[in-house]
Amino acid sequence: MKNEPLNLSVNLCRLQMDNPIVPASGTFGYGNEFKEFYDINILGSFVFKGTTKEPRFGNPTPRIADCTDGMINSVGLQNPGIDAVINHELPQLKTFFHKPVIANISGFSIDEYVYCCAKIDKEPQVGIIEVNVSCPNVKHGGMSFGTTPEAAAEVTRAVKAVTTKPVFIKLSPNVADIVAIAKACEEAGADGICLINTLLGMRIDINTQKPVIANVMGGFSGPAIFPVALRMVYQVSQACQIPIMGCGGVASARDVIEMMIAGATAVQVGSMNLKNPYICKEIIEQLPIEMQQLGIQSLSEIIGIAQKK
């Protein structure tokens, strides 16, 4: 048994991955910058930039604020739009990344989600569609689609009706009952859940006595939010039968293992990519060492094991 090679591979909704490490949307672009640092084909996959129907310049600057063990960002879904992604970014991506990629889709209406998901579903490079339901729902006073079970289920049903590929719904933690929303998505046909998006936070410049972020508030991410993300992954894993991609504050191989024990099949690494562009490579290299020390032969065997203790 000890002589058998360690198995880092996981199966995520029919997508066989060499390892569970997935850079998160908005922190890895389209892979262009990171390919200069290392061969990104060592990754399990990666989620490219959040994509909307029309090009978006994003929010006014400043958009970034430092925090203890984290950061706040209010980039505002800056992206070139779905057509530019399909016609330019994906063909370029194909030249240096040779695995299925995960597409992150955002929208400001049900119709926009449907339009973008139907288009991206036809792209052979895309293995999974990740739907971000943290966008404002204008019909409900600007609250995001992911704040109620009904709204999240409505997006899920609409997107599933026009897609053939696995759909993961990325949920906001800024809610009272994450389990109810995740279950509503599962019942509406979601193939998986991604937990969590950023927490809502802000900073104030005590010299000017004004908010640091031009938009006042933004998404709080980084190691400080890991316990919240872990708790939500554990809760949803207990309540739902569909796979989870864990995301939020992951900074080490031990964090990845902890996320998987809580119930995640794959683990996304977000803001740490911005602090250390080699972080995903380092985690992948460290995983076998941690597995040996912990007596773990196969990562897939520890998924959700905390539920059985």
pLDDT at 4: 80
Name the residues annotated as catalytic: 135
Count, residues in the chain:
309
* One-character DSSP codes across 95-128: TT--S-EEEEE--SSHHHHHHHHHHHTT-TTEEE
Say if residue 1's pLDDT is above 50.
Answer: no
Put residue 204 in one of left, alpha, beta given phi > 0 → left and psi -120 to 50 → alpha.
beta
pLDDT at 6: 96
Say if residue 112's pLDDT is above 90.
Answer: yes
Residue 166: which of 7, 17, 269 has the closest Cα? 17
Where do runs of H (alpha helix) occur along the chain?
82-84, 90-94, 110-120, 149-160, 178-187, 226-239, 253-262, 272-275, 279-294
Q: Which of 40-44, 77-81, 123-127, 242-246 has the lowest mean pLDDT?
A: 77-81
Please count the CA atoms within 13 angstroms of the CA of 206 that sit on its side-chain side.
0
Q: Which of 136-145, 196-205, 239-248 has the lowest mean pLDDT?
A: 136-145
Segment 184-189 mean pLDDT = 98
Q: Say if residues 278 and 37 touch (Cβ distance below 8 Å).
A: yes
Residue pLDDT, tens place only, 77-95: 899 999 999 999 999 999 9
Confidence of residue 59 (pLDDT cuts 50, 70, 90): confident
At residue 212, φ and ψ (nearest 5 deg) are -70, -40
Homologous superfamily of the 10-59+77-200+222-308 domain (CATH): Aldolase class I (3.20.20.70)
Cα 263-265-271 angle, rounded to 5 deg: 95
Residue pLDDT, tens place only, 246-290: 999 999 999 999 999 999 999 999 999 999 999 999 999 999 999
Confidence of residue 137 (pLDDT cuts 50, 70, 90): low
Q: How far apart are CA 206 and CA 208, in angstroms?
A: 6
Q: Which of 14-18, 55-59, 200-204 has the lowest mean pLDDT?
A: 55-59
Residue 131: which of 76, 168, 158 has the closest Cα? 168
pLDDT at 2: 52
